[in-house]
Amino acid sequence: MMRITALVRSLIAVALACAIVTFGLLALGASPTIVFTALAEGAFGNWLACTDTLVKATPLLFCGLSIALAFEASLWNIGADGQLIAGAMAAGACGPWLSRWPHPLAVLAILGVGTLSGALWGGIAGWLRARRDVSEVISTIMLNFTAAQLLSWAVHGPLMEPTHAFPKSAPIASSAELQLYFAPSRLNLGMLLGAILAVGCYYFLFYTQTGFELRAMGRNARAAHYFGIKTRRLTIITMGLSGALAGIGGAVHIAAITHRLYETLSPGWGYEAIAVALVARLNPLAIVPAAVLFGALDNGAQAMQRSAGVSPVLVHVIQAFVIILMLTFDSLASRHRVMSGGGTPTTKGAAPTAMDLVDA
């Protein structure tokens, strides 16, 4: 019940953000109709545009799930970008060696190494948090830089393609490629895999013991510890799982779209996905449409620039307004909740609040 009203608030935020941008465009003398039509055309205008929106949504979906899982445990994983790169690098490094493998096995292998690599990258931040009390915000940001630099070094060095002409890696074996069933559209099984993982994440969080413990830790780590939940171990596991989800995203991107590593692999999906996860209220099922929405905005932005002459930056403005409005609504909603009963948390524990006494 709660979750649905929260999602409705997200939709209102999206609508309001568009309204604000409309006023901005009017004030600048531009025609909102033309701009938004171009945006919509670019995102959903034809079959190819639609499928490209889904392709653009895919990395956001994986990273969004990664972030939502960690955020549910109150672990602020800002490192989905680095974890995605780590997954892509492992996939790009193994890919060329899989030519002798049968297709399904090669695909499983390339996605598998990507998953493990992402899990390792996330797990480092989890270990630092659990054992050395290093803030995961700092460590994941640092690991993002590290991953980006490692990638840059790799495509200029050990993983550089055989002719050593361009900063990119050798192509992966064709047996390891995720097939494009709808060519020329780039639509692939990655989006489907992401949707299945979204359902899996939902089941994990709300229907399994470990998921329950993870959410308990995220809401009150002290109580979780008091009831024998091994919070340190769980921190490492959560960050590992979170990294794994982003890592698969990286591997999928290599296996389906680029087939090799480039220096500029991610345009910042890991950061944009924070917005995706927040708009979806960390609900894994809602991340699927949220990722599609953001993918559509990204996809439409380019068309909008072509046909309406509006800078694609406008899309980032819309995204930013969505987040700001949503957070504003949230604080209003929580204030309303406190006012209409329910009481407030008392740090002194048993000390009753006025609210407690009224409804006791």
Partner 1 sequence: MTRYATSASIIYRRATWLVETNLLVAAGITKRFGPTLALDAVDFHAAAGSIHALIGENGAGKSTLINVLTGRVAADSGTITLDGNPMDDRSPAACLRAGIAAVFQSPMLFEQMSWEENLVFGGFERSGSRLDLAAIRTQARGIAEPLAVPLPRDNAPITTLSVSDRVRLEIIRTLSYRPRVLILDEPTSVLGPAELERFLDMLRHLRGQGRVVILVTHKLREALAVADDITILRGGRKVAERRAGETDEPALARLMIGELPEIVSAPEDEGLREEPLLLIDKIGAEHDRRRVLDNASLEINRGEIVGVAGVDGNGQNELAALLAGAIHPSSGVVAGSAADAIAVLPQNRDLDGLILEMPLWENMLLARPLRRRFVGSFGNIDRGAARAFAAENCAQYGIRVPGAEIAARALSGGNRQRLTIARALASDPAVIVAHDICRGLDFNATAEVHRRLRSYAAGGGGVLLISTDLDEIFALCHRIYVISSGHLTEVSADKRNPEDIGMMMSGAS
Site residues (vs partner 1, CB under 8 A) = 1, 206-210, 212, 215-216, 219-220, 222-228, 341-343, 345-357, 359-360
Nearest to 256 by CA among 88, 63, 99: 88
Instruction: Measure the CA–CA gap between 156 and 153, rounded to whole angstroms.
Output: 5
**Nearest to partner 1 of 183, 354 (CB atom):** 354
**Nearest to partner 1 of 87, 218 (CB atom):** 218
Smallest separation (angstroms) from partner 1 to the CB of 329: 18
Instruction: Measure the CA–CA gap between 237 and 174, rounded to whole angstroms.
Output: 33
**Nearest to partner 1 of 147, 216 (CB atom):** 216
**Nearest to partner 1 of 233, 306 (CB atom):** 233
Smallest separation (angstroms) from partner 1 to the CB of 279: 20
Smallest separation (angstroms) from partner 1 to the CB of 1: 8
State both tokens at 156: 């200029």
Nearest to 6 by CA among 279, 273, 290: 279
Query: Please, what is the Cα angle at 234 between 230 and 240, to 5 degrees?
Result: 160
**One-character DSSP codes across 234-301:** HHHHHHHHHHHHHHHHHHHHIIIIISS-BTT--SSHHHHHHHHHHHTTT-HHHHHHHHHHHHHHHHHH
**Nearest to partner 1 of 214, 246 (CB atom):** 214
**Nearest to partner 1 of 165, 357 (CB atom):** 357
Instruction: Measure the CA–CA gap between 153 and 159, rounded to whole angstroms.
Output: 9
**One-character DSSP codes across 297-357:** HHHHHHHHHHHH---THHHHHHHHHHHHHHHHHHHHHHHHHHHTSS----TTSSSPPHHHH
**Nearest to partner 1 of 211, 243 (CB atom):** 211
Smallest separation (angstroms) from partner 1 to the CB of 74: 11
Smallest separation (angstroms) from partner 1 to the CB of 234: 13
Instruction: Measure the CA–CA gap between 154 and 171, rounded to whole angstroms.
Output: 14
Close Cβ partners of 329 (under 8 Å, ≥ 6 residues apart): 9, 12, 13
Helix axis angle for 231-253 and 80-94, nearest 10°, is 60
Smallest separation (angstroms) from partner 1 to the CB of 207: 6
| 183 phi, psi to nearest 5 deg | -55, 145
Q: Which burial class, exposed, middle or buried, applies to 20 when counting CB atoms under 10 A from its CB (0-12, 13-18, 19+)?
A: middle
Smallest separation (angstroms) from partner 1 to the CB of 225: 6
Smallest separation (angstroms) from partner 1 to the CB of 212: 6
Smallest separation (angstroms) from partner 1 to the CB of 360: 4
**Nearest to partner 1 of 29, 341 (CB atom):** 341
